[in-house]
Structure 1
Amino acid sequence: MKNHSPLSQIYLDANATTPVLPQAAEAALNSMRVLFGNPSSSHITGLKAKDVMETTRNNAKKVIGADDGKVIFTSGATEGIQTAIISALVEAKKRLNIDKQDEPSKKYSLLYGATEHKAVPESLKHWNEILGINAELKAIPVDRLGHLDCQFIAAEAPNALMICTMAVNNETGVYQDLGKLEQIIRTANNDIFWMVDCVQALGKTPLKLAQTTIDYAPFSGHKLYAPKGIGFVYIRQSAPFTSIIAGGGQESGLRSGTENLPGMAAINVIFEMLLNQQHSEFANINTLRGYQTQLMDTLKSAFPDVVFNHSIENSVPTTINFAIAGFSSKEIMDLFDAANIRVSSGSACSSKVTRSFVLDAMGLPAWQSESAIRMSFGPAMTQEQVNAACSRIQSAAKALTHSCMILDTGEIDEKQPVNGLVQLRSGSNCTWVYADQQSKQAFIIDPLPELNDRLDTLLQCQQLELVAIIDTHGHADHQSGRTFLADKHLPTQQTNLLGWPQDCETHSSPNSPKHSPKHSPKDTNSVDDVQLQYIKIGQQWLVNVPTPGHTADSMSLLLCQPFTDINQIKHQCQFAFCGDTILMGSLGRTNFASSSASDMFSSLKRLHRLIGSNNLICASHDYNNEFTTHLSAECGRNPLLRNTLNGQLHVTEFERLKAELDSNLCDQNGSEIMCGALTDDQLNGQSIIEYNHQSLNAALQQENVTLIDIREPHEYALQHTDDSNENVPLTRLVQFIQQQQDQKQHKWVLVCRSGSRSFIAAQAMKRLGFDNVAHLKGGYALSS
C-alpha cells in the first residue's frame, strides 16, 4: 500500500506539546552518558550531577523571577497542581477545624476559573473529597474576552479557602492581569491560598513571581521544547507545603524519588536560552506577534468566513483559536492533516473532539465552540516555517474545491462529480442530497440550516438543477433550512408546508380495488387502495408515502425506478428516506402532541410491505455513526419492530411497549431533544477485522482484497499518490453500500487518516451483512 505524502510536517500544536530542541536533547543524552551520577551520592560523579541540578534550579528561579521561595522539580504540571492543592488544603483543613469552633455553620468554597485546565477543578474535587473538607467548588465566570469576573471574586473570596487561576489559557492564549487579580483577591481575603497555572506562560510572557503574593505556580517542560516528564513548581516562601511523595528524602525532603537528571539538564538549556536572548533559538515577542499576524491574515485570505475566538490584544502571540463557518473542527483537522499541518480541536488533552468548554464559558455561539481549531507555535518558530505554513494553508483551502465545499477555481481544477447519494451531518442530524449527473438534477431531504451555505455551494459547483427540497416531517429539535434554499433555487415552485411540490404526478396500480366497507380511509394496512404521488428525478421517481406516527405529518420518500404496480416498489427501490419513523437502533418517539403510536404501528407495516427487508433506510438522525440501516438489521436488534412486522403484536400492545421505550428519552443526551429512545443492548458494536500495515500489504499481495480510501475528496487529492486505491468518501458511504449489495462476501478493507472513520464505517457495513469487511488500524498516520 503506497500513500506517502511528499510534504514535510508543519507542526502548529505547541500548546499540546513541543519537539525537544536538539540542544536540549543533546544535554539530556550527555547527562545519561557522562553526568549520569545520582545527585544524592557524595562522590565526585554524584557531586557533578548535583551541580547540574542546582544550576538548573537557580536558572529556573531567574526565569520566573523567584529569588525567594522554593522551586521543586516535578514530573510535570499535573504533579505541580497536586502539590499546590494538597499543600493548601491540608493547611486549610487545620484552620477550618479551628474556625468551626467559633462559626460551625460557616460555608466555605474553593474557587477556580471557568476556563481553567480540567486538571485543576478535577484535582480540587478529588482532594476536597479525600480530605473531607467538603467545601463547595465554584467556577469563576469570564467575560467574552476571557477575563475573570473580578466582582465575583471580590464577593466569593472572603469565604473561600483557595483560588486557582491561569496566567495564560491553553486553548485561546488569553492572559489574565495578575496584578489586578492580586489586588482584588488580597483585598477580599489576605489569607486565601492562591495558585496560578503558569504552564503556557513560560517563555511567552514575563513573570516576576517573587514580587507577587502568588502562593503556588506549576510549570511543565514539554510545552517549551524540553522532554516530557520534567516540570517544576514554585512555592512562595510563606506558603504552607505538604510533601505528596515520601521516601528517600530527595529534594531536601520535599519530593522523594531519584531526580530526573536528564530532564533537568534538558530544561536547563531552555532556561539559558530564555536568559540569554543573544545566543537563543527563541524569537522575541514582537517577532512572534508578527508570525501570528501573518498566519491570521493567511487564514482570512484562504477562508473568508473565518472567525477568531479571542482578541490578540489580551492573548499571547503564539496562539490562534479560530472557527470557519460551515465546517466542523473535525473537518478542518482532517483537511489540515492531509496537508501535513498539525493543529488541534480546542484542548489536545482530550482525544475526543467535542465543544470547547472554554469558549462556552466565554459565551461564544455554539457553532464557534463546536468548530474551534487551535493553532499554536513556540518561540523557536522561524520565518521560513511560517511562510511554509501559510503556503500550505492556502493550498489546503483550494483543495476544498475538489469536494465542492467552497467555490473557487483553485489549483485542483477537476471536481469530483457527485452522482448518487450524499449524506451531510451536523451533530446527529442528517441531510440527504441526491444528484443525477446525467440529467444534472438533484433533490435535498431534511435540509439543516447549518448546512445551507454548503448545500448552496454544492449545487452551484456541480451545476445542478434543484427539483425539490423536502422535509420528511415538521422537526421538533431544529429548524429547517428549506426556506433559504427554496427561495434561492425554487422561487416559483408551489409546495405544501414540508416542500412537497403541488405539480407532482400520481400513480395508481391497475389492480387497485375501490374502497370496500372493510377498509376505512385511514387504514394504512391496505396498500393496494392508495394512490401514491411522485416526482421525477432524471429517469427515477421519488415517491411520497404518508407514514404518520412520529408526527401527524410524517412521510417517507422512496427513490425508485419507475414501476407499474405498487407491489414492485420493493424490487425497484434504492433508498427510503423515512425521517424519524425508523432510526438506527430504535423507532421515532411517539409522545409529541401530534404523535400517534397506533398510526406508527400501521405505518411500519406499510413500509415493510412497500420496501421489503433489505432496501436501505436513510433516517433524519444518526446518533451512533451507523449511517444507514434496513428493516432486516433493525428487526435483528429491536424486538418491538420485529414482533410488529411478523404479526405477533396487536396495536394496543404496541402502544404500551412503545410508551415504555419512549420513557427512556429523559436520560438521553442532556438537553438535546431526542427523536428516538436508544438502549444499550440495541447498539452493540460489531467485531471488525483489523489490519496493521504489514499484514495489509501481505493480504494485498496474496488475496483478492479491495482497498477503499474513505477520506473526503479534498484530503485524497492533497495527499494521495497511488491511484490504485478507490476513493469512497464517508459522506458517500451509503451510496457505496447500496451499489455493493451483491458483493457482500467480497473482502473490503477501509482506510482513512487515523483509523477512526474507517472503523465506524466498517462497523456499519458489517451490521448490514458485509461479513468480510475490515479496516486499517491507525490509518495512514502510522504508515511512515
Structure 2
Amino acid sequence: MNKRLSDTHQPLNLIYLDANATTQVLPQAASAALSTMETFFGNPSSSHVTGLQAKQIVDKTRQQAKRIVGTDEGKIIFTSGATEGIQTAILSALVNAKKTLNCNENYSLLYGATEHKAVPESLKHWNEVLELNAEIVAIPVNEKGQLDMEFIAKEVPNALMICTMAVNNETGVYQDISLLDQTIRANNPKVAWMVDCVQALGKTDLSLGQTTIDYAPFSGHKLYAPKGIGFMYVKENAPFTPFIAGGGQESGLRSGTENLPGLAALSVIFTMLLDENESNFTSVENLHSFRQQIVLALTQAFPEVVFNHSFENSVPTTINFAIPGLSSKEIMDLFDSANIRVSSGSACSSKITRSFVLDAMGLPAWQSESAIRMSFGPAMTQSEIDSACSRIVFAAQALERSCLIIDKNTIDTTTIENKAKAELNGLVQFKVGASCSWLYIDQKTKSAVFIDPLPELTDRLHTLLTCRGLELIAVIDTHSHADHISCRQNIAQSQLAEQQTNSLGWPADAKLTTINGHEYPYITLGDKWLINIATPGHTNDSISLVLCEPIKDSSDKLRVHYTFCGDLILMNSLGRTNFSNSSAAAMYSSLQLLTALIGTKSLLCPSHDYNNEFTSRIETEMARNSLLTQVINDEINAEEFSRQKIAMDKKIMNKPDREIMCGALIAACQEFMVREYTSASLAKAVKASTNMKLIDIREPHEYALQHDKKFTFNVPLTRLVHFVKNQQQKEQELVFVCRSGSRSQLAAQALARLGFNNVGHLKGGYALHQY
C-alpha cells in the first residue's frame, strides 16, 4: 500500500475492473470453444454422427441453463445475447397483447426507471411498429434504487407489459423479486412480465421456476463466455413470437444455425457455476470481502469519496462512487494510466455523460456527472484484489503530485511543499463544457490570478492554492455571465476577504498607466502587468485583460503575453450582441481598440471554446471571419457592422438542455492536415529526424504513472496555450501522443491552425501502440 511513484520501473500488469461491461473469456471456456471449432464442428441439425455430437453440446448446455435459472419447466432458447432476448420478449408480449386491445381504453408499457436503455428503446420501437399507441411509463425508484411498489400497484392494471431488472448494471442494486411478483400479480395476473437477468447471473441465486416471470434474458459475455452467445428463459405457456424466422432451429423458436463454439464455452461457465467440478469461482462471502477491501482502499486513497448506492441492497461485485472535484473522465484517465480499467456508469454508451440511473435515484447532479463504476466477476482472486487496492492508492499519489487532491494526513503546508510536485508556472486553462477559466501563476512570487471563474472549479482552485502555497491576488470576471453563475464572490470571500473591488472583481487599488494618450488601470503579477481595457459590446460591462511586460514609456507598444478577451472574440465567432445589455456598435469600437493595442499576433484567451481550439489570434480569426476582417481593416462602419451582427446573432440556436451559446459560429471549423503516425512510422521518423520533439499531451498525474517515457516532454492540454506562447520555432517537428489519440489530435490541429506547419500525432495513442 505504500508503493511510491519512483519505485516503479516495469510496466504495470492490467487490473480489469469493468466486468459489468464485459469479461475476458476464461481459458477453459476459450479452449472448449476452440476444440468445438476444430473437432465438434458439425451442424446440430444434421443427422449424421458429427451432427449428433454437436447436438449433444446444445442439449447439455440447455439442461445446465435450466438448473442455473432454477426451473424444470419452461423453455431455454439460445440467442446472440441479451439484446436479442429483450427484443424477443417484448415482441412476443406485445403481439399477443394487440389481440386483446379495446379501442376505448388507454394502455401503458411499464419499465423501471433505472433499466438498461435496451429496454425502453425496444418498448418504444415495437410500440410504434405494432401501432399500439400505448403510453410508455417509467416506474420511479427511491434513493436506494428500489422500485416503487405503490406506483406499480396503481399503474399495472392498465399495462400491456411490465419490464424490471434483477440487478442494475451501474449500481449493482437488486430488486426484491418476490415482492415484485406479489405486487404485480395481485393487481394484474395476466400482464406479461420480463426481468432482465444479465447482471444477476453468477452473482445471486435465481429460482425463476418459483416466480411468475414470463421472460428472462441473459448474456454470456458478462460472465466469461464469448460475445455473441446468450439465452433466454420463457415461462411455460407464455406468449411467444419468434424474433428470427428461417430454418426452424431451436424447435422453431429461434432460427439460424446454433453458435456451437459459444455454447461449448457457455457450458464450461455453467459447469463452474454448478460446481460440478472444481470451480474457478469465488464464493459470495468472499466477494463481499473483496468489495469491502476495495472500499477501504478507495477511502484511503480519496478520503472525500462518496458511494452512490447502498451496499445493503446491491450485489458485492459492483461499486459506484464519485470523488468531489474530479470528473469521471479525469478518474478514468488516471486509472487507465495506472493500467486499471473502470467505466463511467454504463459502458454501452460511447459518450461520457451524467448517469440516468443515479438521476432516477435522486442523487445530486455532481455525483451523477462524476460517477465511476468498478465491477468484477466471481472469477476474481484475492491476489488480484490485493493488487487492485495497492494500485488505487498508488494512482491517488499522482493526483497529490498534481495538487488535484491533498493528503489530509499531510495538510501542513511545509510538508506539502516538500512533496515532489509537477512544476506549475505560467498559464493554465480549465474547461467545464465549453466554458473556460484561466489561472496565471507567477512561481517566483507565489502569486496567482484567476480569470472567469467557474463554480465547478472552486474546490479545485482552493486545493491547488493550498497545495502549492500560492497567494491569490485577484479573481476577475471579464463580464457578467448569462450562461453560468460566477463563483467569483465565493472565492473572493474565502481568499480575498479584505480586498475592495468592483462588480467584476477588479481591485479598487489598481494603478493607472497611459497608452496612446489614454489611461488604463493595471495590477502587477510578479514582474508582469495585467491591464484592464473596457471592451463593451457582448455586455455593457465587458472588459479585456492584457497580461504584458511593464510599460516604461507611454509611447511603447505593448509586449503582450496573453489577452483574456471574454466573449468579445471567440474562436470562429464573435460574442453575441442580442442580450438586453449588449451593443453591436460598442463591440465594433471595442474590436478596433483592442486590435490597436495588442496587434493581430497576440494570443487570445476567450471565456468559451466551443470546438476545442484552445486559443487563437486576431490574424487567425480574420482568415475565416470576414466580418471581423472588415472591422479591423476599417472597411465598414459601426452601422453596417450592427446590421450584419444582428443577422449573425439570429443564427444562434439555444436548446433547453444545452448551455447558452455566447457566440454564433461563422462556419464549420476547418480541419488542418496533420501527420498521423503509427508506431512503426513514428519509430522510423524519429531515426530519420534530428529536430523532432515528442510530446505527451496527458495531464501530469497521468504522465507520472506512465512507465515507458519515450515521450519525455509533457505538455498537458491544460497547459497547451502556455506551450504555444513559448514555442517560438514553428518549423520544428512536433508529435503529440495521449491515451487514445483524441487529445493528441486536438493539440496537433490547434497548433496547425495557428501556423505550426510540421505537427503530427500518434493515431490511437498508447491504447493501440507501444511505441
For residues 312-332 of structure 1, give each alpha carbon's deviation from its aligned partner in whole angstroms, at most 9, with x where no partner exists: 111111000111000011100
Structure 2 counterpart of 1:441: 447
CA distance in 1 between counterparts of 2:364 and 2:629 reads 43
State the 1:688 CA deviation. 3.2
Whether 2:3 is the aligned partner of 1:20: answer no
Is 1:7 aligned to 2:12, yes or no?
yes
Check the 8 A contact 2:654/2:660 in 1, yes or no.
Answer: no
Once residues 674 and 214 of structure 2 are traced to their aligned partners in structure 1, the CA distance between those partners, rounded to angstroms, is: 52
Distance 2:431 2:213 in 1: 47
Residue pair 2:654, 2:661 contacting (<8 A) in 1 also = no
* CA positional deviation for 1:240: 1.2
Tell whether 2:79 aligns with 1:74.
yes
- Output the CA distance in 1 between the equivalents of 2:324 and 2:313: 24
1:91 match: 96
CA contact (8 A) 1:417 1:437 kept: no
Residues 337-396 of structure 1, C-alpha deviation per residue, up to 9 Å, x if partnerless? 111110011111112211111112222111111111000000111111111101000010
Which residue matches 2:748?
Answer: 762
Q: TM-score, normalised by structure 2?
A: 0.94
Matches of 1:151 and 1:678 in 2, distance apart?
A: 50
Paired amino acid for 1:453: D
Matched residue, 2:600: 613
How far apart are residue 671 of structure 1 and its match?
4.4
Tell me how far 1:156 sits from its aligned partner.
2.5
Report SS of the residue matched to 1:476. Answer: coil
1:667 pairs with 2:650: no
Q: Deviations over 1:712-743 (max 9, x none)?
A: 11111111333662110111001001112x32
Aligned partner of residue 431 in structure 1, secondary structure: strand
Contact 1:637 1:682 in 2 (8 A): no
- Which amino acid letter does the alignment assign opposite residue 607 of structure 2? S
Aligned to 2:486: 480
SS at match of 1:133: coil
Structure 2 vs 1, CA of residues 158 and 658 (structure 1 numbering), >3 Å: closer, same or farther?
farther
Give the aligned residue type for 1:499: G
**Hey, what does 2:405 align to over in structure 1?**
406
Deviations 1:142-185 (A, max 9, x none): 22211222233223222222221111111111111122222222
- 1:143 corresponding residue in structure 2: 142
By how many angstroms is 1:642 displaced?
Answer: 2.8
The CA deviation at 1:278 is: 7.1
Displacement after TM superposition at 1:198 (Å): 0.7
Cα deviation, 1:221-264, whole Å, max 9, x if unaligned, reads 00001111110011111211111222221111111111111111
Structure-1 separation of matches of 2:557 and 2:324: 41
Amino acid at match of 1:78: T
* Offset of residue 615 of structure 1: 1.2
Q: Distance in 2 between matches of 1:366 and 1:165?
A: 25
How far, CA to CA, are the matches of 2:677 and 2:710 in structure 1? 21
| SS at 2:161 equivalent | strand
Aligned to 2:612: 625
**Pairwise CA RMSD of aligned residues?**
2.0
Q: Name the residue aligned to 1:578.
A: 565
Identical positions, percent: 63
**TM-score, length basis structure 1:** 0.93
Aligned-partner residue type, residue 565 of structure 2: C
Give the residue type in structure 1 aligned to 2:337: A
- 1:634 maps to what in 2? 621
CA–CA separation in structure 1 for the residues paired with 2:109 and 2:82: 20
Residue aligned with 1:508, SS: strand
Give runs of ≥4 in structure 1 deviating > 3 Å.
408-413, 564-570, 664-669, 684-688
State which of 753, 762, 778 in structure 1 corresponds to 2:739.
753
Question: In structure 1, how many angstroms separate the alpha carbons of the residues matched to 2:34 and 2:290?
Answer: 32
Match of 2:676 in 1: 690
Match of 2:531 in 1: 543
CA–CA distance in 2 between the matches of 1:278 and 1:40?
Answer: 30
Distance 1:471 1:40, change over 3 A: same
What is the aligned counterpart of 1:731 among 691, 694, 718? 718
CA contact (8 A) 1:668 1:674 kept: no
> Judging changes above 3 Å, is the alpha-carbon distance between structure 1 residues 678 and 669 closer, same or farther for their aligned structure 2 residues?
farther
CA pair 10-747 structure 1, distance change in 2 beyond 3 A: same
Q: How far apart, CA to CA, are the structure 2 residues paired with 1:637 and 1:749?
A: 26
Q: How many residues align?
A: 755
The Cα of 1:597 is off from its aligned counterpart by 2.0
Deviations, residues 511-566 of structure 1 (Å, cap 9, x unaligned): xxxxxxxxxxxxxxxxx342111111111110000111222211110000122456
Q: Does 1:647 align with 2:634?
A: yes
Range 64-73 or range 492-501, more displaced: 492-501
Moved more, 765-774 or 549-558: 765-774
Name stretches of at least 5 consecutive residues in structure 1 with no aligned partner: 510-527
CA distance, structure 2, for counterparts of residue 412 and residue 713 of structure 1? 18
1:534 is aligned, of 506, 518, 522, to 522
Aligned to 1:276: 275
SS of the residue aligned with 1:677? Answer: strand
Consecutive unaligned residues of structure 2, counting only runs of 5 or more, are 1-7, 411-415
Partner of 2:3: none
Letter in 2 for 1:359: L
Give the whole-Å Cα distance in 1 for the aligned partners of 2:97 and 2:633.
Answer: 67
SS at match of 2:631: helix
CA distance change for structure 1 residues 11 and 149 in 2, over 3 Å: closer, same or farther? same
2:616 is paired with a residue whose SS is: coil
Show CA shifts across 1:125-150 (max 9, x none): 22222222232222222222112222
Q: 1:412 to 1:490 in 2, by over 3 A?
A: closer
Counterpart pick for 1:557 among 545, 548, 561: 545
| Distance of 2:166 and 2:712 partners within structure 1 | 49
